[in-house]
Structure 1
């Protein structure tokens, strides 16, 4: 009876793992579609009037399946503000020549920078955290499912040896 229960638990965990890993793949794919220069520049436009307003970044992540980090630096390089977190999935290009004041520089597929007269605003876009969590949960269920099946197999071997 114990062996059958462990097998059922293992199979259920493996089925749930497959579902979670598929969900993680779909969420990652959806998130990746928004990690581009266009989305980055649109985010900069929303942040440009007041780059210290964290709620603007929060509204972006509420609308789009992405994570976002905003860094505001003074022209002398001092960091004035940093908020948000992002999970990078695209390579970032090293900073090159900055555009003139009021210009936008594309630093990579998921990063861009606005250069103002008094500060610069760097926006980095990344993977939606929900995709990462779904992948981690799916992986944990996969390990748990196989562990349950191994324990069930060992329990069956012990019972067979006891029968002989």
Structure 2
């Protein structure tokens, strides 16, 4: 019963100017939200929960990859800041640059539809790991300063 089937098929949210539509019939037939003269129709999804879980594999791969990349980055920066630059720490530094590219290329070949979620997982886990490490290190240094005073 959709008046604009081509628009609704191409996206989950379709935007229609309110003055074009027969408002009474439209509001009865669909889910809607009014906002500043526009009606946003939310098209119902036919994706089952098991399909959603399969579609989020890329996010899981990205989170694991981002955590591994953060671990490699901390090993590399620890080696540099302590002055003990070894072949092992240089290898970690090189690997932490190659890892996200390899994961994204692999996901592009395996499941292209999850490529964006893989990138989101990598970046999100890097941010969360960095913030958590900062908070932990800040609390540790505060504890040392309190004991010294």
Query: What TM-score do the two structures reach when normalised by structure 2?
Result: 0.30
Higher relative contact order (CA 8 A, sep 6+): 1
Higher share of residues assigned strand: 1
Higher share of residues assigned helix: 2
Query: What TM-score do the two structures reach when normalised by structure 1?
Result: 0.28
